[in-house]
Every structure is written in structure tokens, then in C-alpha cells.
Amino acid sequence: MADWSPSTYLKFEDERTRPARDLLAQVRLAAPARVVDLGCGPGNSTELLLARWPGAEVTALDSSPAMVTEAAARVPGARVIEADVATWQPDGVYDVIYANATFQWVPDHLEVMARLLGALAPGGVLAVQMPDNVREPSHALMAETARADERWRVRLAEAQRPPLPSVTTYYDRLRPLASRVDLWHTHYHHPLAGPAAIVEWVRATGLRRFLEALAPDEQPEFLAAYQAGIAAAYPPAADGKVLLRFPRLFVIAER
């Protein structure tokens, strides 16, 4: 799979960073000694951790070389490393393990979360936010567009990431390992310039897996068909903008 694009991801930096702030606001620790940002991306979330806890040792990691390079330049106060969240092993005890929009990409991520929760210091916090939007038109239309054309149907059959488990599944797995588990959904409604802006948003995340499975000369046709579906699913508001509804799941588990 091609590397992630920091510049494409950061086109909607304010919108992408808002849930990172909302997650951090619910971490009830005043002065953690060691903090790690799993799947730090271009460093926008790591920047929040450094500002909240300037005295902490902050580590940031990502599996994307491009994202690691971007983050290292943006947050020189953190130790930034290239690593896969699925297999990363803590180098000692952490007080906060933080992951904004990361675990939805990790296979068997609930088991990884349970393992990492067990590696926290007593009183430590696992703080996780994940997009829960696979059933939203923005993502459902990717799969529908692929199924509608026999040229793409087979190649793109596995391009969509699976939906998240139920909140009860998360609670039942993490509660025996934690003193407290808090779960909630937030539905953001982002005003964007139009259907093309929605397409540009998802190009940096879910749509990239579909496009990478297509030849370069096929991609414009797929994008045109997908954008036509987006235009029908997201009618303009009175000011001409479209509202991208974006559900996200938040999980706080305290050791």
C-alpha cells in the first residue's frame, strides 16, 4: 500500500483535530510522567499532548514514514518513532496511552487495546477515538460504487474497512482490566464547500484503499461516479455548503 499523504490529511486539519481535543479533555490525569501517541499522523494530536503536559516525556509513533517525518518536524519536543501499533511493545510503563483515529485500521484492535491497557501504570489511562462512519453515505457509497461496475467489483470487494464492534463488546472486553470504562459517541457535522470537498476529505483515509486497487486511468471514472453519489446523498444547505455527518466512538479506560 502506498504511503499516507500528510498534505492531503492536513487539508482538513481543524476538523480532524477537534475530536483529538475532545478525547484529551476527558483524560483525568494532572501530571503523567510518560505519554505515548499511537498513530500520531502528522503530529497534530501530539502537539495537544505536549501542550497539556509540558513536563511529560512524550513519545509519538506511526507506521507511515511520511507521517513520521512530518511529525518529527512539527513536534521536536517529542520522541517520534516509526512503528506499527499492532505489534508495538511499550518500552516500560506509560501513564497515558492515547490514540486518535488509529485503532480502526488495526486488525483485532480490541485485543491490542486490552494488551496495552494491561501495560499501563496503576491509575494510567488508555484514551482512544475511532471514526464509526463505515455505514455513513461517505463510506457506504465507496462500496456501492465499486459493486455497480463489474470492472471494479472483485478487485474492490475487500477495500472497505469493517465496521466497529458494538460499544457493549468494547465494554465487556475492557471492563475486567480497568477500574473505570467510559464510552460515548459524538456526531460531528462539518460544513464543507461541496461534494468535491467530501471526496477530498476521504481521499486521505478510507478512499485511498479503493483508489490504490485501480489503475491510474480508471481512477477518474471511479471518482466521478462516487462524487455523483455523494452529491445526491449530501444536498446543499442554505449557504451552499454540505454538512458531512461524522460519527466517532470515544473510549476511556482507567487502569
Report CA-CA distances (Å) from 45 to 13, 39, 77, 83: 10, 9, 13, 17
Assign domain 6-254 to its CATH superfamily.
Vaccinia Virus protein VP39 (3.40.50.150)
Segment 109-158, tens digit of pLDDT: 999 999 999 989 999 999 999 999 999 999 999 999 999 999 999 999 99
Beta bridge partners of 253: 126, 181
End-to-end CA distance of the chain: 36
Contact 4, 67 (CB under 8 A): yes
Mean pLDDT along residues 55-83: 96
Domain boundaries, the chain: 6-254
Beta bridge partners of 82: 62
Record the pTM.
Answer: 0.94
